[in-house]
A and B are shown apart, each in its own frame.
Chain A
């Protein structure tokens, strides 16, 4: 097996290269500009949240019957994006896919930030967000517990577990790198900060052994979560009796969609990163190509999901399911449906060509298209089922307000802002694991 690492690298040069992004601040004003730009988005997001808490969810376009709107769609979209990080870190680690090493660190960061965004929306969407702790099983004087049959409770635990495990996994992987940075940092304050979080890492063999065990264990823990979290999120819909929600295909369909959108987001982030930090030799075309292959595979699963939904509606013969399917194709949201098919099914087929898979620019464009398509899919799942269910008298369309869009844009800006901070203060590629690669390559040559 040829190494995924290109160029000539030694332990020190790897450390220099990756550490420089944190310690030398090579981007200078460009990074600052990006942070300032996204800060405005964060500020807008916070303002919108303040207004939402002050006025109520009525500032959005939600209504009866469409009681869930963009907030839930955004939540599902973000949690899906968060998927790829864990998949890359844990599943590919267990499968010994070495190419994951140069992308797993920032993919995990992406997971954390995306899952945070996802976790925020259910809270924002509550009518009385200040009472959100009632979803927690805490011992209160009235003896009240959450209602365990509700998928929202399962959801609450699924997302909370996912966030916790992802954070731990990310942090454990970071410890050797933090120690490297501690050793290289020139400023005392920076050194102190890195030292604090490096937990006294000295690179002893015993530490390495424990670290390797812990990392593998956490990977084992995180792997089922890749499947469980989005399966549980899908149950928010599948448990419901609404046509279009009530379907057993939802869990696998959601997981495939999650990987699809997650890998798209990995590419969306990787392409600008490697160009900005000159990481072409660490994040190679081979990485991009592998990610594109995953996109192709998961895209096919998603397309199968669309087909199966339509087929089952007619095969099942339920009049409400058929009406829903026809409505998706021809109703008020038909334009969204067909755009989604174009974005998620048709355009990604370009990746069958090797030249597309190895072109960073084309992949970047495709990944944006897929992100958009997956967002439309989430929106469609929420809206198209709710706006026309059983009784025609209750039918009504959802029209998003400016606030709906502001929350979507605000969450994207906040995600970007967090990510920009991350690339400035932490190594965006794992130094330790890259050194392992250098070592293995050297061994291979020997």
Chain B
């Protein structure tokens, strides 16, 4: 039996055979102890039946912490094992939607590369230790006698009220200690902008359901920031309700460097360099608020257009700025939002939840480095912050760590920071510990475990409790209850119990969103943005769309999730516009030597493959972070390029130089043809025609009699007007259906296994169209006709089934599928050997062997469950009773599923839409999965309003 032990073969860790055996024995014991429920009472979600029969999943409402903020989710568990993350409709952070990282949390929990035990790293050899050893070492650390002088704490951004209180009392007990915060990849620009404009750092909370015009300046509010899921959900809801009422929905305008989700849905879009966006903001501020005008005049026409649009939408406007925007740019945005009456309507300013507590203002990572350089730090405790890899000061920090006499690290993985610390402490995963967090709008919510810790891990709460003088409580549950008992329920024990139970069921504390702050009249910043000199090549360093700043690098699901628009997996690239590529003489896949050109003493150079992307701003490179990691784990090590060295010490774009390196790279792309060849598979329709399109859905004549069916007729409608192309359907399907990961080499060979793919086409006008494509479940299915053994057949409810154990693998069905949605196990892709693979798989879905065809099943296991449940209750399955995995994860409700024979069902209503069409209808396959065309809004004219 292969055990999930992360003994990396490396010089620093020479585990002896005896130690390895001990470790193995320990892991075995843990594996035996695994899959048990936590000892404390945890409460399943409100809507669950009283008793979940064996085999049915139990859902727990909890929060997943992403970049410090909570995203409300339901964790589906089977036999005590977390199997699938669902969105939580009652939670303000997502209204039922989720994102790719949330879907991948389950895989992260079961990751065998997690740090599993306390490790002590004295000199060259790491040895296994215990928490008691650590507690003793803590008590004996350098300078332990004094009041914390020389002790530094480094954390990432966190919003947990309980942890804030704990840390505050630790700092109170050790007044000499200092707390530093490393915010991760470029965050907080909007807060710093607010500090410039209003004199205090405030966090904007956007209400996308209100404005009639949303303008994004270098921002992708659908993909970045803690409110991203909510933004998409609000926008989609508003758009759908406007369209239902025949009104023109809100318009989106995007000024962006890199093609992004928001820009792809924008009605008007300008590709601009970051400098041009800054200039534009300055011009707009000068026009309406006074202040100096920029040197360069805007040549793109964006300024003139915005000058027309902004006043026309006065009071119904929302301006959003991205993280790469300068602080001054954000200050101007705040001022413009105030000028056009957005404050209090489409956006509110709140005290940032991470600063909204008893803690003093944190010191920065740079200050920590200065303190280390001045030998003022004798011991350093790092809580879940991989600053030696993800921060802009990573190389300096990695060096400095070696000079601190005593270091300890708490985290999920033995990452770049952990490896440089003497004590490496395993942290509990968010699905196995108690905690709390606040959402993008400041709402508080609890985190409850769905499984007892798999290994001997502790949460940050438990670690802080362990080291706080005078603290007697040790377990996270008690710590959390004590905090909430003290803070939220006044006095009464019984009322508190009710509050506790209700909050755990609900997942969040109702009406706990932060209060909007009133602000004075905004001050315009004095500084002028750098002039956009011609010939300057700007570098942008956003977190990767899947692996973020690298924190998800060891997640195979996320690595293999095709990035929106590039369809790239397992790699990062330098995205650039076609003209810039022509100037540099590179094509997609050619190596680029990129050098920093911002005047630093030792310019950094990296070699990275180019990716020519229509729609990308010219004279700019987008270089995603999160790659080139050396200590991510077996999945994430050594892939891609670390672009961190090019970054400046301050966030934002950096001037670069680039030249071809002469090397060729192979990119693992899941889609190579982006031109739809005029075939318009992803249709668009003008707003004026969207309500009275001719009924194109009249079935084609057929020589065959209609297929009889009894019971429900399952069907799906994908609303391209709601789809933002975020990919969460793909990964949700992967999690639900045990879809294997195949690796970069197999993706390159065209063998990715995703059952629902998100196609991307670039139209002649530069517009990006996205289209999720699952199996069409054709009524006249071409695949069924050609299978020699009858391994793919139709059932009475209209499902096109794949019988895995009958399949011999002729692949004829795939050849005959005009949609190419079938996926073949060319090799043994499914991991079946490891203990974690066994535990992480959905027990309701067969794990496929090699040589077998597979494809979207409409989540047939969920249909079966609904049928069983309905039978038990003595009625038929309702038209909306089944929610497929892709549908459940979608933040914009773009996927409708149900019984198309039931006229009252949601999907039947969608099929009646005039925008309804079937993909490749002319082939006469009669697909059950159909689409609603995306609507092009009429161009706004000034007099039209």
Contacts and interface: CB of A to CB of B under 8 A. Distances in A.
A305 interface: no
Nearest to A135: B788
A127 B806 contact: no
A128 B853 CA distance: 11
A56 B815 contact: no
B773 A64 contact: no
Contact of A392 (B679, B814, B825): B679
A3 B919 CA distance: 66
B788 A127 contact: no
Interface stretch (B295-303, B418-426, B655-663, B670-678): B670-678
A151 B808 contact: no
A58 interface: yes
A182 interface: no
A293 to B, nearest CB: 37
Contacts, number: 164
B807 interface: yes
Contact of A152 (B760, B812, B852, B923): B812
Interface centre among A56, A61, A131 (most CB of B within 10 A): A56
Contact of A58 (B751, B816, B823, B920): B751
Interface in A401-425: none
Contacts of B851: 56-57, 126-128
A389 B746 contact: no
Interface in B763-780: 771, 773
B787 A127 contact: no
Interface stretch (A142-150, A250-258, A348-356): A142-150
Interface in B740-754: 746, 749-752
A312 interface: no
A379 B786 CA distance: 21
Contacts of A393: 671, 673, 681, 757, 759-761, 771, 773
A114 to B, nearest CB: 22
A contacts with B: majority SS: loop
B293 interface: no
B811 interface: yes
Nearest to B820: A394
A132 B815 contact: no
B850 A56 contact: yes
Given A55-B827, A150-B786, A128 B751 contact: no
A68 B812 CA distance: 8
B676 to A, nearest CB: 6
A127 B853 contact: yes
B681 A242 contact: no
Contacts of A399: 749
Contact of A156 (B675, B752, B788): B788
B789 A135 contact: yes
Given A64-B824, A128-B851, A395-B673, A146 B788 contact: yes
Interface string A56-71: 1111011111111000
B588 to A, nearest CB: 15
A280 B127 CA distance: 84
Interface residues of A, number: 51
B90 interface: no
B782 interface: yes
Interface in A317-339: 319, 323
B70 to A, nearest CB: 36
A391 interface: yes
A64 B853 CA distance: 11
B135 interface: no
B645 interface: no
Nearest to A156: B788
B750 A64 contact: yes
28 contacts: A55-B827, A57-B851, A61-B749, A63-B750, A63-B751, A65-B814, A65-B815, A125-B810, A127-B809, A127-B851, A128-B808, A132-B808, A134-B808, A146-B788, A149-B785, A150-B788, A151-B786, A153-B788, A240-B786, A241-B818, A242-B815, A242-B818, A391-B679, A391-B820, A392-B761, A393-B760, A394-B671, A399-B749
Interface of B: 671-677, 679, 681, 746, 749-752, 757, 759-761, 771, 773, 782, 785-790, 806-812, 814-816, 818-820, 822-828, 849-853, 919-920, 923
Given A58-B850, A63-B750, A150-B786, 10 more contacts: A67-B811, A125-B810, A131-B808, A240-B812, A241-B923, A242-B815, A390-B818, A391-B773, A392-B676, A392-B679
9 nearest interchain CB pairs? A127-B809, A127-B851, A63-B750, A58-B826, A67-B811, A58-B827, A394-B820, A393-B759, A128-B851
